[in-house]
A and B are shown apart, each in its own frame.
Chain A
């Protein structure tokens, strides 16, 4: 059932139920004009209940090497309670899901790429000894057999759900890749970030072009769910970079995060103008004007050192943030106030809402 065609990506509102939050379609005029009403249409109570927050977290506060590791790895929040699911593996850094079967998750981890099927009850390691220390992953939402992951020595892709893999970074000058995103409107377009900036491929990783932030280490990349041509990337030390030309070029976007490290980006799926970024130093910073200006919103957070941030697609204005070895925090007013939300003592490298 198609409710509203987007301008940029051809997605549908129906896709909300099966796609990652960053893939929520471009706002149609109705949404732009009447966001609250639209949200009610978009997220009726029954649909709200379907979103599950997944956090890739290690509980490291007060941990001493050699001691038994507190539960760490994948946590799912259902009915306001956190559940540690699957194995204790503190090096899970990213989670994504199969859009055709959201009970099947994929995890980028220190030991490799895992498929965690049946709501993460059954894990299968999909990679071998030749890759280690995964950094990020992305699933092609138009073809979920295609999965990319960034790792300590490159970038790999499978087109058969992990049965076979191809290395894509062999012709890069430096092979370390920290972040990967697929353009949801043109799946052959990839944007990756490593130690030397942002690279773009238009042919599924066969060739690469420098897209910006040259010489800077990239920490995170995200594509706007509202405008497929708008991308943001965070860096180690150089702040935020933005692309308004579909990832062709990225330009530095003001002073936010300069000389600090920004680790996370979240576009508010319910508000095209609202974006959150997070890092050490800035804490949580919010833009209400589509990234033109930023305001740090850390009142109520114990420290401004934040690893990850994510808007809740089921609750407009609700935002989660992982504060270094403190806990997860939640705000119901887009960061104006905060309160603890569990996972005490943790570091959540990334979070994702799963339908």
Chain B
């Protein structure tokens, strides 16, 4: 059985066109013959294929009889099933589905993606049963009231995203739960404006990913990422989408169900300009984005602080960062270097440092938790949160500046802070790692990239699975990172000599500060807690664009996005809901 599935997947990797790739992903669910089944996802896939309607009806009834669970993660599959039914389901199955929306009350959630899934599904199911009265719904509101509430929230989200950026931005995992609702609305919303808005948002979201991928890997700073993908950059939902849209990299062994539900709805194929932006790495470039923090319920005057992203990409590697700080809860990833490998499966092609923040204040900023029991509750699902050797999470005690492929991160950790150390991830897939007497560490990353890092304080090595962790237990600390293409130097020694020749001055006490002339000639002066100065000019956060760089252009509050590639240009104007 497993062999059959593997054959399906193996053949899918060879699929040449978008449609072929899409078909292979749907078939992985529709024609699954392994042990057990994929539940709602398999029903949706088979209904989309118009196959085995009796099995679909029976399975749906069984699942609903067992009791819905999962809140908005239950809403999205059953909404798709309702729209994919098209006369295939039995009356009993349809009745069971209808009853579930009266007897089960999904939690609306506490993140942006939760709300988007919740309101998208509520919108579409209200549209599906347009005349249902308050007695027919779990929340005691009529279809008309539910649809209006959902419409307002969805439109508000689109406006906020196209003016101030997403709050849960650039997540290699959760990107799926933004794409999926937009795909649903693009496919099934009857209101032409809602449908058009969703189609445009699909382009917008894909554009958000396209310049920040390297071989399909979602690079740079992320609002949220899971640890398996943090280290093995291929191992997540973004690999499915990168492969589906652009044929980049490799999909997951079994495609994530987010991509399945994306496909059974609109199956939106990105326009040619986005394919070019996503795949052309012939010239290095720096891409800028402005995003938002997650909702900050406490401790801040502004619930949405700015996030300033910088991502440098070239065919050999990418360096990406935000400005540092606890911008998100628990799963933030603020910076890294990701390098090209021919096949990223099983490879930990990434390099970064973190301060392992575990803080009640962080949790109370982003959640309404009471002070006791919160961390215990968090580690039920995010198991490393309260661990000193963790590699995931942002910290208020980390500040970052990046210029092209040079990155400096400083740490100023108050005394008494839980886990007063920093961790550096040194992958098993680095080679020729050399600790130079100068304090620099040089290493080869893949065949095409050299990385130099200069920890500002002493450190020791600790194992981290097959890889290792640099552990430095100092409150004032920092790291200077310079990356270059191997092709720029005869060998790693030459790279090291060039790095050592670069002027570097630093202090760690009383406040960490660095002055460094980068390999690209930029003088970077950076003091913890102060605006970084590049070539004697303070970094201009004030005018940071929503999107900036060679491919994407959007001003803050613009409600528009212009994509450019060579002589191609495409503008999404959300004020007029037009594409030019």
User: Which stretch (A5-13, A87-95, A246-254, A294-302) binds chain B?
Assistant: A87-95
Contact of A236 among B105, B297, B303, B371 (CB under 8 A): B371
Judged by a CB distance under 8 angstroms, whether A123 is at the interface is yes
Q: Which residue of A lies closest to B151 (CB)?
A: A129
Q: How far is the CB of A196 from chain B (nearest CB, A)?
A: 10
Chain B interface size range: 20 to 34
Judged by a CB distance under 8 angstroms, whether B509 is at the interface is no
Given contacts A129-B115, A173-B301, contact A124 B69 (CB under 8 A): no
**C-alpha gap A110/B299 in the complex (Å):** 20
Contact (Cβ within 8 A) B140 A125: yes
Give the chain B neighbours of A124 by CB distance below 8 A.
134, 139-141
Give the chain B neighbours of A122 by CB distance below 8 A.
140
**C-alpha gap A153/B368 in the complex (Å):** 10
Given contacts A110-B107, A132-B110, A152-B297, contact A263 B149 (CB under 8 A): no
Contact (Cβ within 8 A) B370 A261: yes
Q: How far is the CB of A257 from chain B (nearest CB, A)?
A: 12
User: Which stretch (A34-42, A62-70, A138-146) binds chain B?
Assistant: A62-70
Give the chain B neighbours of A65 by CB distance below 8 A.
380-381
Contact (Cβ within 8 A) B153 A133: no
Contact (Cβ within 8 A) B140 A129: no
Give the chain A neighbours of B134 by CB distance below 8 A.
124
Contact (Cβ within 8 A) B108 A110: yes
A108-139 vs B, Cβ < 8 Å mask (1 yes, 0 no): 00111001000000111100110011010000
Interface residues of B in 278-304 (CB under 8 A from A): 295, 297-299, 301, 303
Contact (Cβ within 8 A) B138 A87: yes
Contact of B105 among A63, A111, A115, A152 (CB under 8 A): A111
Q: Which residue of A lies closest to B377 (CB)?
A: A60
**C-alpha gap A173/B110 in the complex (Å):** 23
Contact (Cβ within 8 A) A263 B368: no
Q: Which residue of B lies closest to A305 (CB)?
A: B372
Interface of A, secondary structure class, is: loop
**C-alpha gap A324/B67 in the complex (Å):** 27
Contact (Cβ within 8 A) B139 A125: yes
Interface residues of A in 277-302 (CB under 8 A from B): 280
Given contacts A124-B141, A135-B368, contact A68 B69 (CB under 8 A): yes
Give the chain B neighbours of A175 by CB distance below 8 A.
303
Given contacts A123-B140, A132-B108, A133-B368, contact A153 B149 (CB under 8 A): no
Judged by a CB distance under 8 angstroms, whether A244 is at the interface is no
Give the chain A neighbours of B115 by CB distance below 8 A.
129
**C-alpha gap A111/B137 in the complex (Å):** 14
Contact (Cβ within 8 A) A219 B141: no
Q: How far is the CB of B278 from chain A (nearest CB, A)?
A: 32
Give the chain B neighbours of A111 by CB distance below 8 A.
105, 107-108, 139
Judged by a CB distance under 8 angstroms, whether B415 is at the interface is no
Give the chain A neighbours of B297 by CB distance below 8 A.
133, 152-153, 176
Give the chain A neighbours of B67 by CB distance below 8 A.
68
Q: Which residue of B lies closest to A110 (CB)?
A: B107
Judged by a CB distance under 8 angstroms, whether A174 is at the interface is yes
Judged by a CB distance under 8 angstroms, whether A202 is at the interface is no
Judged by a CB distance under 8 angstroms, whether B246 is at the interface is no
Judged by a CB distance under 8 angstroms, whether A195 is at the interface is yes
Give the chain B neighbours of A237 by CB distance below 8 A.
371
Judged by a CB distance under 8 angstroms, whether B373 is at the interface is yes
Q: How far is the CB of A193 from chain B (nearest CB, A)?
A: 13
Contact (Cβ within 8 A) B141 A129: no
Judged by a CB distance under 8 angstroms, whether B119 is at the interface is yes
Contact (Cβ within 8 A) B108 A153: no
Contact of B149 among A64, A128, A219 (CB under 8 A): A128
Give the chain B neighbours of A261 by CB distance below 8 A.
370-372
Contact (Cβ within 8 A) B107 A91: yes
Give the chain A neighbours of B301 by CB distance below 8 A.
173-174
Binding site for B on A (CB under 8 A): 60, 63-69, 87-91, 110-112, 115, 122-125, 128-129, 132-133, 135, 152-153, 173-176, 195, 217, 219, 236-237, 261, 263, 280, 305, 307, 324, 347
Ranked nearest first, the 7 interchain pairs of A and B with the lowest CB-CB distance are: A124-B140, A65-B381, A87-B105, A129-B153, A125-B139, A280-B372, A68-B69
Known A66-B381, A124-B139, A129-B153; further 7 A-B contacts with Cβ < 8 A? A122-B140, A123-B140, A129-B150, A129-B152, A174-B298, A280-B372, A347-B373
14 contacts between A and B (CB under 8 A): A87-B104, A122-B140, A124-B134, A124-B139, A129-B115, A129-B119, A129-B149, A133-B297, A174-B301, A175-B303, A195-B299, A217-B298, A261-B370, A307-B370
Binding site for A on B (CB under 8 A): 67, 69-70, 104-105, 107-108, 110, 115, 119, 134, 138-141, 149-150, 152-153, 156, 295, 297-299, 301, 303, 368, 370-373, 377, 380-381
